[in-house]
Amino acid sequence: MTCAGIAGFDLSNPPEGFRDDPFPYYADLLASRPVLPQPDGSMLITRHADLDAIYRDTMRFSSDKTVVFEPKFGRDSPLYAHHTSSLVFNDPPLHTRVRKIMTSALTPRAIARMEPGLVAAVDNLLDQMQDRASVDLIEDFASAIPIQIIGNLLDVPHDERGPLRDWSLAILGALEPVLSNAELDRGNRAVEEFVAYLQDLVARRRARTGDPETDVLTRLIQGTSAGEQLSERELLQNCIFILNAGHETTTNLIGNTLALLHDHPDQLARLKADPTLLNSTIEESLRYLSPNQFGNRETTQAVTIGGVDIPRGTNLHLCIGAANRDPDVFDHPQQFDIARKPNRHLAFAGGPHICVGLTLARMEGRIAVDRFLTRFPNYRLKDGRIAGGRIRFRGYAALPARL
């Protein structure tokens, strides 16, 4: 695309082909218009250095979405209630209080205790696929792992986990730049159904308390030892957030990594020859195909970014997918290199809002890919893979494979 063409790029109405392959557009934006005004008055930001600075500066850049989401969802809608109550879309003091309670439940020791259960869950999925002629690596594997792990975190009974994935997809889908009425209705309905389910689950947990060392829901209900507690609304909406944040992004991480290794046989051979590259493989997958492609902030005062003056109250689209291929930070950014070091990607955002579950997500990705490759080292993807079709989240809806 020419410089003049990229200057007219509109995230709410992207050119044909952008959803399938946004990376050429990202490269053009980085090269010529790294800070690009949008028709609705928002700004599209693509440079790694700019995103990194914005994530760290909570004084000039706010995560609070009470104003931005009102015209998008309607102030009285279930989606508005959810997305303006969850950890990720709030500033201190709510963000600090909620995050403190969550991190107290996701300590390194607590996460380490999850590993045997994660290995067993992954191996069980691999057993179920063992003798099948064809499988879908998303439906049969990648998407099933985070549902089980988050279900275990909240101690959701196994026979009640069926609706969780569909609820998550509908709620996260409502964060796309443009929504149809059907998508909006589906998201609102999902929040209503999820809240109703959680009200019952919380009532049961209050009546029969779990072990706060292993049951995150019990920990969230009890609060911290210092007496900090969540309101009922904060509790319910942040339980939804935990499932959603840990579901689609981790599904995408696992699916994307297996697709990338298949599509780059030299890198797959490299990993097989040197299994110590597994951790850096996960990091490179996070960089190269970031599961979450966009974040947002709002300016709290007039700022200047990249020589562009931006008024107070401007919504910023932070393009993680572009920043993670910024040639000023990454050598040969369009190359998938499983041994890449350093790898300062922003897949988990940064600053005080860095993903609270990043250690768990990395562990899930590492164990899933390792156990899969050990069991099925010669897997092949078949024709018929289906991209997720979203702008904000990057992954696959289907990855048919022969094992």
Per-residue pLDDT at 375:
97
* 3-state secondary structure at position 297: strand
CB 42, CB 314: distance < 8 Å: yes
Residues 365/250, Cβ–Cβ less than 8 Å:
yes
What six digits make up the tokens of 249? 């992004």
Query: Which residues have a Cβ under 8 Å from the Cβ of 281 and sit 6 or more positions away?
Result: 257, 261, 267, 271, 338, 369
Separation between Cα atoms, residue 295 and residue 321, nearest integer Å: 10
pLDDT at residue 22 in the model: 97
Question: Alpha-carbon distance 209 to 230, whole Å?
Answer: 17
- Alpha-carbon torsion angle 11, 15, 21, 25, nearest 10: -70
DSSP state of 149: H
pLDDT less than 70: residues of the chain? 1-4, 224-227
> Which pair of structure tokens corresponds to residue 110?
């607590």
The DSSP 8-state label assigned to residue 210 in this structure reads -
* Nearest Cα to Cα of residue 347 among 362, 337, 332: 362
Q: What pLDDT score does 334 carry? A: 98
* pLDDT at residue 89 in the model: 85
CB atoms within 10 A of CB 388: 22
Distance CA 271, CA 335 (A): 16
Distance CA 275, CA 4 (A): 46
- Amino acid identity, position 212: P
Cis peptide before 93 (omega within 30 of 0): yes
Q: In this structure, what token pair is assigned to residue 158?
A: 């196994």
Residue 224 confidence (pLDDT):
63
- Residue 289 near residue 260, CB atoms below 8 Å: yes
Predicted local confidence at residue 4, as pLDDT: 54
